[in-house]
């Protein structure tokens, strides 16, 4: 018998981070991001360590010392909002 959706998604998670530093990947910052993250470039994309392909328009998040994650623009904007110092 097929598992029900409710049976598959029993664990609940929350983000560990309250804030992160992030930059949107552009043609003008590919090389600098590759150097800063320890990755490399290929075909107008940033390749993060672990061979994570991040096309122009995606976001790179610094999630720890020398640890980076990537999200599409749509996913990034759905999860993160700018911090405004007042």
pLDDT at 86 over 80: no
Per-residue pLDDT, averaged over 8-32, amounts to 88
Q: Strand, coil or helix: what is 6? A: helix
Instruction: Give percent above pLDDT 90 in the chain.
Output: 65
pLDDT at 1 over 50: no
- The model's pTM is 0.80
Distance from C-alpha of 69 to C-alpha of 59, rounded to nearest angstrom: 8
Full strand arrangement of the beta sheet holding 59-64: 21-24, 59-64, 67-71
Residue 46 near residue 80 (C-beta atoms within 8 A): no
Per-residue pLDDT, 17: 74
């Amino acid at each position: 018998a097929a598992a029900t959706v409710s049976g598959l998604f029993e664990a609940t998670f929350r983000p560990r981070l309250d804030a992160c530093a992030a930059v949107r990947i552009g043609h003008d910052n590919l090389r600098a991001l590759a150097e800063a993250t320890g990755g490399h470039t290929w075909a107008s994309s940033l390749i993060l360590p672990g061979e994570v392909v991040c096309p122009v328009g995606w976001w790179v998040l610094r999630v720890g010392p020398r640890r980076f994650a990537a999200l599409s623009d749509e996913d990034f904007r759905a999860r993160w909002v700018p911090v405004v110092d007042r």
